[in-house]
């Protein structure tokens, strides 16, 4: 065989190997920050083959109207889809994820709170009234199932030190969770200049929240009925998340909408032994686009075993 052809073939194969190794390294370098998250990933000894498969894409990205999107494979930490993931947007009622985390840190579920003055709010509400007594657990159901603004206010107003201290606690929680591009100045999700979050931060917060079995149970509840402490007033709440119970594997997490924020949705999916978290912000069709993204992920990604220690 011609020595020049042999040399050319060798160079061609070497270039292919270089491109493959470089692409793999680039993909791994862009993996989602796992310093805080994904504690369920087992630590492995050096040079052992990992037991958790890495998702590899074999299709172009879908086009979505949402202004900010983040989808992450929680087990590997690999981003599956990103669009302006670190840009700040109005979070609307996805704010209530942080509200719930602070409340869960602060109150026993069976603690009874009294509805105070100023609980009348615009938007979604249970219809709580001044002087009514209701358990924290039921307020959290109102917050996370029905996205009730009055439930958020009652939880904040009864906080040790009052409403303002609750807001401080929300931002302390955000800092603890390394939500570097998020800030909150109300527990409801009302639009202000100082109320913002990113798709990446909401994925991060929701992954932590779903580790709490109480939070996970509540956001996965389709419908619930309960009464206040007096037993005279009953609440029948239905989850406003249209994907829950209708899209296989969806187990929560939280909706959000205001006129300026448009449609927001954070979604947790367990399917085929994979765990995926998706945040969609500023969408024209949060449910439709999230479903489209879920279908695209599970159709076009292949989870393969990759040995990062191979030479």
Which residues contribute to the annotated binding site for substrate?
254
Residue 1 CB contacts under 8 Å (≥ 6 apart), including other chains: none
What is the C-alpha to C-alpha distance for residues 37 and 208, in angstroms, rounded to an integer? Answer: 7
Set 83, 96, 125, 275: catalytic member: 96
Set 83, 125, 135, 147: catalytic member: 147
Half-sphere exposure (CA, 13 Å, Cβ side) for 130? 5
Residue tagged 């929701």 (tokens)? 206
93 is catalytic: yes
Set 93, 182, 206, 283: catalytic member: 93
Q: Measured at the alpha carbon of residue 281, what is the angle toward residues 190 and 224, in degrees to the nearest 5?
A: 65
147 is catalytic: yes
Which residues contribute to the annotated binding site?
254
Give me 188's structure tokens.
Answer: 């409801």
Residue tagged 């985390």 (tokens)? 101
Strands (E) in 137-283, as ranges, are: 223-227, 234-238, 250-258, 262-271, 274-283
**DSSP 8-class letter at 125:** -
Give me 134's structure tokens.
Answer: 């209701």
Catalytic residues: 93, 96, 147
């Amino acid at each position: 065989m011609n020595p020049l052809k042999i040399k050319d073939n060798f160079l061609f194969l070497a270039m292919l190997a270089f491109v493959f190794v470089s692409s793999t390294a680039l993909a791994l370098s862009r993996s989602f920050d796992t310093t805080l998250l994904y504690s369920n990933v087992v630590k492995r000894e050096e040079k052992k083959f990992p037991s958790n498969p890495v998702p590899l894409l074999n299709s172009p990205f879908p086009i979505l109207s949402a202004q900010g999107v983040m989808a992450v494979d929680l087990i590997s930490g690999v981003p599956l889809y990103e669009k302006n993931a670190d840009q700040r947007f109005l979070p609307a009622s996805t704010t209530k994820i942080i509200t719930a985390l602070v409340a869960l840190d602060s109150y026993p579920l069976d603690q009874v709170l009294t509805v105070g003055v100023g609980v009348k709010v615009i938007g979604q509400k249970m219809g709580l009234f001044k002087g009514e007594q209701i358990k924290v657990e039921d307020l959290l159901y109102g917050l996370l199932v029905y996205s009730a603004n009055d439930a958020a206010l009652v939880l904040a107003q009864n906080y040790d030190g009052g409403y303002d201290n609750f807001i401080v606690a929300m931002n302390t929680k955000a800092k603890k969770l390394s939500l570097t591009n998020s800030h909150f100045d109300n527990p409801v999700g009302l639009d202000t200049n100082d109320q913002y979050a990113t798709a990446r931060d909401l994925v991060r917060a929701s992954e932590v929240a779903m580790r709490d079995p109480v939070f996970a149970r509540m956001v996965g509840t389709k419908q619930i009925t309960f009464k206040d402490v007096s037993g005279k007033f009953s609440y029948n709440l239905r989850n406003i998340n249209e994907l829950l119970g209708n899209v296989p594997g969806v187990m929560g997490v939280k909706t959000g909408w205001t006129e300026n924020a448009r449609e927001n949705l954070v979604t947790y999916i367990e399917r085929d032994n994979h765990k995926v978290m998706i945040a969609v912000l500023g969408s024209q069709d949060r449910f439709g686009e999230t479903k489209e993204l879920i279908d695209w992920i599970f159709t076009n990604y292949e989870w393969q075993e990759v040995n990062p220690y191979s030479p």
